[in-house]
Amino acid sequence: MKIGAVFPQLEIGADPTVVRDWATTVERAGYSHVLAYDHVLGADPANRPGWTGYTDKSLFHEVFVLFGYLAAITTELELVVGVLVLPQRQTALAAKQAAEVDVLSGGRLRLGVGIGWNQVEYQALGVPFRQRGALLEEQVDVLRKLWSEPVISYDGKFHQIVEAGLNPLPGRQIPIWFGGGADAVLRRTGRIGDGWMPQGPPDDKVRAQLETIRAAAVEAGRDPAQIGFEARLTLGNVPEQDWRTYVDSWRELGATHLTVNTMNMGLSKPEDHAEVLRDVLPGLS
């Protein structure tokens, strides 16, 4: 099982030196990958009673720009989006951005995608919220065609492309993983996904979800063993004495990847995240 680190978006701040030092510390410590979340806009909760999501005070670095930066200052870390809210974005542009990061990083991008939950973002980006699931599935098909062929034509429900293509091409199919726990997501992962990013602990619910994915893969004529899945250990939510047991439980379930999240630990300085990650990895490996 490969162990990576969650980029501490909400707590690391905007100082590029701190971001650089975090990434180089994580790479030197021996982590295999970095996972970053995606949000474009934060909602002002002042006139939204009961709002519980991210707000305008939540700092999010734009994932493709961030990974372009990290590609230049690291040499081995896999760069993982977990997850890109793909239906909010123009598909061809997302394909271009992903291809560029993959080219400049030497083939180190893994693209997690999902439908998201934030209607405020969808409205601001001009995308209908209710059709995001159907749109996502077609987007994945378009992405893969754009990455594999110099020129394509595509006539779908949401996309019309006439004899056009990307340049440069990534030279490979960038892995696409799905995030979310709804049955539709699980079945979609089994049918067309390279991997799955679950939320929650390693329990019977996740075990059942994995069976749904594997059954969908078999039904689609795919080998379930070829579908990865990435767990997450949020250090602030699990007692320290249970960290190793938690990780071992994911290993027993067959997790191929796990990321360590240092947010919500009450760390006083942005650079403390890198120090915690450096210190905990030997006990988890």
Given a contact cutoff of 8 angstroms between Cβ atoms, the answer to whether 47 and 80 are in contact is no
Kindly state the tokens that stand for 7: 């980029």
78 beta partners: 33
What region does 64 belong to: left with phi over 0, alpha with psi -120 to 50, or beta?
alpha
What are the tens digits of pLDDT across the range 185-240?
A: 999 999 999 999 998 899 999 999 999 999 999 999 999 999 999 999 999 999 99
pLDDT at residue 131 in the model: 87
Burial class of 108 by CB neighbour count within 10 A (0 to 12, 13 to 18, 19+): buried
What region does 7 belong to: left with phi over 0, alpha with psi -120 to 50, or beta?
beta
Given a contact cutoff of 8 angstroms between Cβ atoms, the answer to whether 83 and 38 are in contact is yes
Given a contact cutoff of 8 angstroms between Cβ atoms, the answer to whether 163 and 153 are in contact is yes
Given a contact cutoff of 8 angstroms between Cβ atoms, the answer to whether 59 and 13 are in contact is yes
Given a contact cutoff of 8 angstroms between Cβ atoms, the answer to whether 178 and 188 are in contact is yes
What tens-digit pLDDT sequence spans the chain (285 residues)? 999 999 999 999 999 999 999 999 999 999 999 999 999 999 999 999 999 889 999 999 999 999 999 999 999 999 999 999 999 999 999 999 999 999 999 999 999 999 999 999 999 999 989 889 889 999 999 999 999 999 999 999 999 999 999 999 999 999 999 999 999 999 999 999 999 999 889 999 999 999 999 999 999 999 999 999 999 999 999 999 999 999 999 999 999 999 999 999 999 999 999 999 999 999 999
Q: Find the helix or strand (DSSP H, E) in which 71 lies.
A: helix 63-73
